[in-house]
């Protein structure tokens, strides 16, 4: 079906905690702030990124069909299966036996759902009542490696 992206799924392991140093003031992308010399707070990424532990999974994106949405090959995705998908959400969908990662769009004029890639090299997937289709989960975060 869609050769633009594949997913490698992982269940979320929340049995451990790892508190990391955290700067609650944020990090300026403009001029530095002298107040940023001290990081006294800590953050646990499990608590920050996972709202519904029993229905949250991780997946590694393999492919480039969502690159213009900032989701690239190798990015780690946080997927929540308990969320009700909304127009414009990036979702993991199961269509006719295949998983795909796309942005959802309801086309009222054609009475269908479109799964929209974010790369012009790929075509939307039109989903009608004739397809075997479920939205498996909603992507809540994407984690991107910045250094090779």
Point out the catalytic residue in the list 6, 15, 23, 65: 65
6 is catalytic: no
The SS3 call for residue 98 is strand
Q: Give the separation between CA 81 and CA 87, rounded to whole angstroms.
A: 16
Is 11 considered catalytic here?
Answer: no
Q: Which residue reads 């929340």 in tokens?
A: 14
**DSSP track, 5-43:** EEEEEEE---S---EEEE-TT---SSS--GGGG---EEE
Q: Residue 124 phi/psi, 5° resolution?
A: -60, 155
> Which member of 69, 102, 144, 145 is catalytic?
102
Q: Could you tell me the CA-to-CA distances from 51 to 14, 80, 87, 95 in Å, in that order?
A: 11, 8, 21, 26
Name residue 107's beta-bridge partners. Answer: 112
Q: Which residues have a catalytic role annotated? A: 65, 102
């Amino acid at each position: 079906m869609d050769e633009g992206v594949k997913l490698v799924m992982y269940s979320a392991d929340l049995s451990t905690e790892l508190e990391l140093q955290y700067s609650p003031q944020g990090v300026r992308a403009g001029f530095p702030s002298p107040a940023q010399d001290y990081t006294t707070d800590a953050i646990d990424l499990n608590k920050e990124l996972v709202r519904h532990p029993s229905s949250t999974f991780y997946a590694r994106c393999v492919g480039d069909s969502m690159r213009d949405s900032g989701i690239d090959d190798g990015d780690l995705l946080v997927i929540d299966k308990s969320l009700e998908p909304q127009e414009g959400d990036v979702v993991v969908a199961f269509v006719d036996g295949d998983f795909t990662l796309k942005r959802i769009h309801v086309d009222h004029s054609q009475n269908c759902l479109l799964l929209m890639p974010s790369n012009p090299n790929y075509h939307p997937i039109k989903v009608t009542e004739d397809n075997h289709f479920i939205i498996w989960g909603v992507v809540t975060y994407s984690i991107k490696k910045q250094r090779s």
